[in-house]
Chains A and B, each alone.
Chain A
Amino acid sequence: MIRMPRRSTKLFAIAALALAMLLAGCTSSGSDSGGGGTSVADSQLNKVVKAKKIRVAVLPDFPPWSVQKANGEFEGYEVDIAKELADALGVELELVSTDGDSRLPLLKSDRVDVNISAWTATNERAETAGFTIPYDAHGAGVLYRKEDPVESYADLAGKTVSVARGSTNDTIMTNDFPKTEVTRFESIADAIAALKAGKVDACVESAVTVRTEAAKDSSLAAVDAEPLEPSLVSMGVLPGDQVWINYLNNFIRNLVASGEDQKLHQKWLHTDLADIVGISGQPSNS
């Protein structure tokens, strides 16, 4: 054992004290963010307008909703909606990459103002996050290798299935398919790679992703059936910030009513917006 000389003990104490003060400074300055008050001044809406910038969380790996290209830029259906939102507010748009697990933490740590990240507004999630009215609806599909076919959803019993951790598909499989073994991956790309590499029997992802992948890779096919558990996709914000939710609800109602939402949906997903999202007019083509 080596005895520490006195001087280094003192130095250590100074360093520890400095670190403690730094930490204390961080927490006191950060404590007023997060909670989400209800007054106009406290609202995220006010912060966005003041900062002249809106920070939107989007998924980097969910084409055609949203995907990050090799040059770092994002494109897709939800990215276009984010652009519309920034235009409506007259502020600059900053896109922040997120995954299924980080959507709420990004809001709580005040790194984004709103999630437009294919977030399905389930009742469980609505206990801890604030959701707007839906701008889209989608369901899950099942992708399999042609050499090892899956005939129907019921056929999944006793098979292994890959999902993206924290996705709605993860919840569907865990809750409604108790006889199926669920294998979780960090991203949608990894979940599909696991299927291609023969690690699992099937991959459960959004119906559109499944269709796109089946069209791209001739060794894969999608189970031919109606989408599994259609669900509503909403923007997500901090719970309790009703002023901000009201603004976004109004924005989405206008997006749907003007036909813009339908136009973007057709552009990226090549299908009509689900009826449940709202009655839309004709796009103005302007």
Chain B
Amino acid sequence: MTFYFGDILPYLPVMLEALWVSIYVTLGSFFLGSVLGVFVYLGRDSSAKPLRVLAGGFIEVFRNTPLLVQLYLIYFGLPEIGINLNPLWSALLGMTLNNAAYTAEIFRAGIQSVPDGLREAASALGMRFSQTFRYIVLKPAVRNVLPSLTNQFIVLFLFSSVGSVISLNELTATLQDLNQQTLRTLEVFTFGAGLYYLTSAAIAWSSRLAERTLFRW
């Protein structure tokens, strides 16, 4: 077995450009999805039953179906009811909703891990619920689940490869195109795996850095 990377090196700029697409789709959907996830959690834990049912149903639907199928339905299915999104917006929408369902559950674990004493102290000081949640509960909760969130971030980044089925030109789609052009299957995908690995490793490293700096007390 021989490895020859000479054929694929000229395509490095194309691969890096595609990697950037993967990264910004992931960044966008992770942050939008995480913010949405906080609200989904609040809905699920709320005292109003309709909200609880709605948020619970949302989580169950998006956690119990594959992202691939969700993307198919958003990209090929929504046009039937007049919503025609391009591949980028379809992927962003699908990954955001998917991520919201997962992070809502992660936040639930984090918020439940915050001692009741903190909440009681806050209300004794006369803070309203929204103030307590924002200034007292959220930060230690996020800190407690930061490793889980990092994990979810990396999983979402690797999941972005599924975007290739709805013709989003992210890294995996580009690797498949290069494979077809050069027929250097092993080299193309080894190189691509390296790019995915380095990016994921950078995400994990940034998370550890954030743990040491942003969430210190």
Contact = CB atoms under 8 A, between A and B. Distances in A.
Interface in B86-104: 86-87
Interface stretch (A41-49, A69-77, A100-108, A205-213): A100-108
Given A184-B177, A194-B76, A104 B183 contact: yes
Contact of A184 (B1, B76, B173, B183): B173
A186 B164 contact: yes
B199 interface: no
B113 interface: no
Contact of A166 (B87, B164, B176): B176
Interface in B161-189: 164-165, 167, 173, 176-177, 179-180, 183, 185
A129 B84 CA distance: 40
B79 interface: yes
B84 A198 contact: yes
A184 B167 contact: yes
Nearest to A125: B183
Given A198-B79, A199-B84, A27 B183 contact: no
B185 A104 contact: yes
A190 B79 contact: no
Contacts of A129: 183
B30 interface: no
Interface string A247-283: 0000000000000000000000000000000000000
Contacts of B183: 104, 125, 128-129
Contacts of A100: 180
Contacts of A101: 176, 179-180
Contacts of B80: 197
Given A105-B185, A183-B167, A193-B76, A31 B176 contact: no
Contact of A197 (B76, B176, B177): B76
Interface in A33-70: 34
B165 A185 contact: yes
B153 interface: no
B180 A199 contact: no
Interface string A161-187: 010011000100000000000011110
B14 to A, nearest CB: 13
A38 B1 CA distance: 18
Contact of A165 (B1, B79, B176): B176
A31 B75 CA distance: 43
A27 B2 CA distance: 12
Contacts of A104: 183, 185
A166 B180 contact: yes
Given A101-B179, A101-B180, A165-B176, A186 B165 contact: yes
A35 to B, nearest CB: 9
A162 B75 CA distance: 14
Contacts of B180: 100-101, 165-166, 170
Interface in B36-63: none
B176 A194 contact: no
A27, A162, A197 — which one has the most chain B CB atoms within 10 A of its CB? A197
Interface of A: 27, 30-31, 34, 100-101, 104-105, 108, 125, 128-129, 162, 165-166, 170, 183-186, 190, 193-194, 197-199
24 contacts: A27-B1, A30-B1, A31-B1, A34-B1, A101-B180, A104-B183, A105-B185, A128-B183, A165-B176, A166-B176, A166-B180, A170-B180, A184-B173, A185-B165, A185-B167, A186-B165, A190-B165, A193-B76, A197-B76, A197-B79, A197-B80, A198-B79, A199-B75, A199-B84
